[in-house]
Amino acid sequence: MKLLTLNFLTCARKTCKSTAAAFPLHPKEAELEQVEMELNPLFVKNMLPRLDWEAMKTLATELGLPNLPAETPVAEELANESGEPTQTLRDLHTLLMETAIASGKLVCGNCGHEYAVKEGIANFLLPSHMV
Amino acid sequence: MSRPEDILPPDLFYDDAESRKYTTSSRIRNIQADMTNRALALLDLEHPSLILDLGCGSGLSGEILSDVSAEEGGPHTWVGMDISASMLGQALERDTDGDMLLADIGQGVPFRAGTFDAAISISAIQWLCNAETSDVSPEGRLKRFFDGLYASLKRGGKAVCQFYPKNTQQRNLISQAAIKAGFGAGILEDDPETKNVKYYLVLSVGGGDVTGAVR
Ligand SMILES: [Zn+2]
């Protein structure tokens, strides 16, 4: 599961839906993998305003990744004057699209439920009493 | 021919053998590709987008989303949800690009508000009308699904769900649930009154009947 996806995923339980603590989910015993993806500058630009950068920084810290910039990069930083992709764009691409959780757990900060991740797929099936 | 919905719940129906059959049958693949391309045309996306694929199965639709050319506004990035672990296993084997959740869309859509540019669903949402246990109803599952989908789409976002309604009553149950969640909704029929009729529930976040905008 790409870190991009984790920046949008919340706890699935109804009781957690409107609580701030249910996002972001916290990785536990996470194994990371690097997956090569083709650079898609327009996609990164499209996603930039939607990212929750605070959650991104929390995630990077919890995964032991290098510290991220304090503020969300802005669209102007993605290409240089001649329109070439900048290092900022490449770093974002690596972080969001190529860094993935291969296995481990995702824990809700509100209810404590642990969603298992195996082969990159998170199990969000809830037993009916938890729906 | 019996409908799979009437035999077993989807996580049981699509076991390993059935999933492989579904993924490798060239007839099913072609129909699935046609319907995905139709849904994409209806979404009319202009930029590389983040798309939710509801009932993504083995990623047959997802591959098409990943392969949309830059000239046609792609390539898109997708996140899939499916209740069948066997189907998702097939997607892993075929090394598709999207992220996937093992999840029941009738339990909701676990993403924060405004996440997706668009959503597609091919041959899945009629399963929501199956209530397998005494503590869930089709109405309850449809409500959780459409409320969650509505919230997860960004403003101006669209969703296209191709589905196989069992009868008029089920078709209305589904479209009414979408409208109650706040969607502008319309049903488009391709090849009406033939045995190949295909139904597309076209939804927009913003209100109003949207089939008028469909060409
Ligand atoms: Zn929770």
User: What is the pTM (predicted TM-score) of this model?
Assistant: 0.93
The tens digit of pLDDT for each residue in B111-158 reads 999 999 999 999 999 999 987 677 789 999 999 999 999 999 999 999
Chain B interface disruption, residue of A47, A119, A131, most B CBs within 10 A: A131
The tens digit of pLDDT for each residue in B43-76 reads 999 999 999 999 999 999 999 999 999 999 999 9
The single residue listed with the structure tokens 């327009």 is A42
The residue type found at B164 is Y
Tokens found for residue B106: 């009738």
Please answer yes or no on whether A124 and B110 come within 8 Å at the CB atom: yes
* All structural domains of chain A: 3-130 (2.20.25.10)
Q: Is B207 on the interface with A (CB under 8 A)?
A: no
CA of B193 to the centre of ligand 1 (A): 46
Is the pLDDT at B214 greater than 70, yes or no? Answer: no
- Residues of chain B contacting A37 with CB distance shorter than 8 Å: 97
Residue of A nearest to B152 (CA): A8
Q: Is B66 on the interface with A (CB under 8 A)?
A: no
Please answer yes or no on whether B103 and A12 come within 8 Å at the CB atom: yes
DSSP line for A82-127: TSPBPHHHHHHHIIIIIEEEEEEEEE-TTT--EEEEETTEEE----
- Strand order of the β-sheet with A99-107 is A26-34, A99-107, A114-118, A121-123, B99-102, B77-82, B50-54, B116-122, B153-163, B198-205, B183-190
- Helix (H/G/I), strand (E/B), else coil: A29: strand
The tens digit of pLDDT for each residue in A96-113 reads 999 999 999 999 999 999
Residue of A nearest to B106 (CA): A131
Q: In chain B, pLDDT over 90 holds for what percent of residues?
A: 77
The yes/no answer to whether this complex scores an ipTM above 0.95 is yes
Please answer yes or no on whether A97 and B77 come within 8 Å at the CB atom: yes
For chain A, residues with pLDDT lower than 70 are none
Give per-residue burial for A12-28: e unless 16+ CB within 10 Å, then b.
bbeebbeeeebbbbbbe
